[in-house]
Amino acid sequence: MANVPSDVSDTHGTQLDGIHDAQPYDWDDYEAYFRDKPAYHSQEEALMAILSELSFESVFEVGPGFGRITALILNQWPAVAQDYTLLDISEAMIEATSKNLPTVDFLYFIGSISVPLDAGIWASPQLPIKADLVLAVEVLMHIHPNEIMQAVDNLLGAISDNGCLVTVDWTVPRPNEPFGQNWRHDYPNLFLAAGARTIQATLVGLQTIYVVEV
Ligand SMILES: C[S@@+](CC[C@H](N)C(=O)[O-])C[C@H]1O[C@@H](n2cnc3c(N)ncnc32)[C@H](O)[C@@H]1O
């Protein structure tokens, strides 16, 4: 009950069951949980192997979270720090990435990838970005089906000449947990509808890493 005001729990009753045990977030614990998860180690290994096959001098990373993948990329390819742009719907996530990588001077935007290119954040003179590597790891899973086409259009539109989009999302259902992976979109058809020329898919556990060229 600690962090749920009594009037809220009284009013909403069972809707808040389970929330009553919640503790205030501890960022260090949160990050450590994801850093130490064995499934993430195989995901990261597979992703880094795929990125090693690519050639890129600029990165546009959407949804960096606390910079889990950002840190791996900058560790292996420090030169891309010169041209590394972040976009996240959450200011707290941009702050977390910057805090974890304090020496990098990111260009960043706070806004949604699923908003049309002439609206909101995209109306900034510095956007739309063009980057050799457009990256979205476990981000499209959060986009509502009504908005996913716009998000995929925006991502493909951000790819520079000879660049590519790399995404990682759940594609295989997890038994007994139908909603735990948020949305599992039909990624190949979405990429094709947005103008993809080639799509390379690599299954890693229950997730697929896509490399998309236009
Ligand atoms: C599951 S986390 C993944 C974080 C990081 N990529 C990783 O794999 O560790 C999802 C991230 O996407 C961001 N996000 C969710 N919806 C978004 C949207 N519509 N536009 C931009 N970022 C979004 C969240 O704020 C969060 O940083």
Mean pLDDT of the chain: 85
18-213 has CATH 3.40.50.150 classification: yes
Residue 1: predicted pLDDT = 29
pLDDT band at 15 (very low <50, low <70, confident <90, very high): very low
**Number of residues assigned to the chain:** 214
Question: Residues lining ligand 1, judged by CB closer than 6 Å?
Answer: 62-65, 68-69, 87-90, 93, 112-114, 137-139, 142-143
Residue 129: predicted pLDDT = 83
pLDDT band at 153 (very low <50, low <70, confident <90, very high): very high
Q: What pLDDT, in 10s, does the model give residues 179-214?
A: 778 899 999 999 999 999 999 999 999 999 999 999
Quick check: 10 pLDDT over 80?
A: no
The CA 62 to ligand 1 mean position distance, Å, reads 7
Q: Domains of the chain: which residue ranges?
A: 18-213
